[in-house]
Amino acid sequence: MTTLLELKKLNFAYVKNSKILDNIDLILNQNKVYGLIGKNGAGKTTFIKTLSSVFNNNVFTLEYFKFFDKEVQLSSEFYRQNKYTVFTESESFLNWTFLQYLEMVCQLYNCSIERKRLEFLVNGFKFEEYCQKEIRDLSTGNKKKVFLIVGLYLRRPLLILDEPFDGLDFESTEFLYKMLLEYKQYGTVLLSTHFAESVVRVCDYLYILENAHINLFQGNVSEWLESIRK
């Protein structure tokens, strides 16, 4: 397997001597789906935001970060151009429509809009009637669809999803399962979730975040499900 991303000894703390993340190591291989689980407050969202270049480096330290076997900064343009994150909640671009947001993102990522591919995703998420509405006027689930559609459309080498199934109806959840499995043709997915079913349905590997540390589950994902049922 070819490594896409490698992170070594990530430490994160808002307050000195009170680490939220402690000596985190992470390896993501290309064309795989990784799950990230942990109890509420374990630091999943903090970890995802750090990996998504949200924070400046005065709250975290790391030994090194490699992407495509190249040592880079989390804030580097090379990394930013090759990943996209869907956050669990987003209060940005609320006065924009979905299509306005998509056009802006495609300009940032130097990518053209292919109508056929876009229509497939919009139809799959049953989003047709909402494309011209301002994001602020959408339900929680439909707001989530805005960013999921864009993330899936871009086909970046790394797609990061924070609780992507929250707020989705059954049909959209099933469609997302299908799209995540297909996404492995284009790149790697890292998703946080508290739904056991989603881990089993789409994840090849599972990271568990607990007590500020992260560990790769040793075994297949179905074995993890059996272990938590005992």
Question: What string of pLDDT tens digits covers the 230 residues of the chain?
Answer: 899 999 999 999 887 778 899 999 999 999 999 999 988 878 899 999 999 999 887 889 999 999 999 999 999 999 999 999 999 877 778 999 999 999 999 999 999 999 999 999 999 999 999 999 999 999 999 999 999 999 999 999 999 999 999 999 999 999 999 999 999 999 999 999 988 888 889 999 999 999 899 988 876 766 666 666 55
Q: How many CA atoms are closer than 13 Å to the CA of 32, on its beta-carbon side?
A: 15
Q: What is the CATH number of the domain that holds 77?
A: 3.40.50.300
DSSP3 helix / strand / coil % (the chain, rounded to 5): 35, 25, 35
The contacts of residue 218 (CB under 8 Å, 6+ apart) are none
Counting the structural domains of the chain, the total is: 1
DSSP-derived 3-state class of residue 49: helix
Sort strands 158-162 and 33-37 into parallel, antiparallel or unpaired: unpaired
The pTM of the whole model exceeds 0.85: yes
How many angstroms separate the CA atoms of 92 and 86, rounded? 12
Please give the angle made by the CA atoms of 222, 149 and 68, to the nearest 5 degrees.
Answer: 65
Residue 215's domain comprises: 3-229
Cβ–Cβ under 8 Å, residues 141 and 167: yes
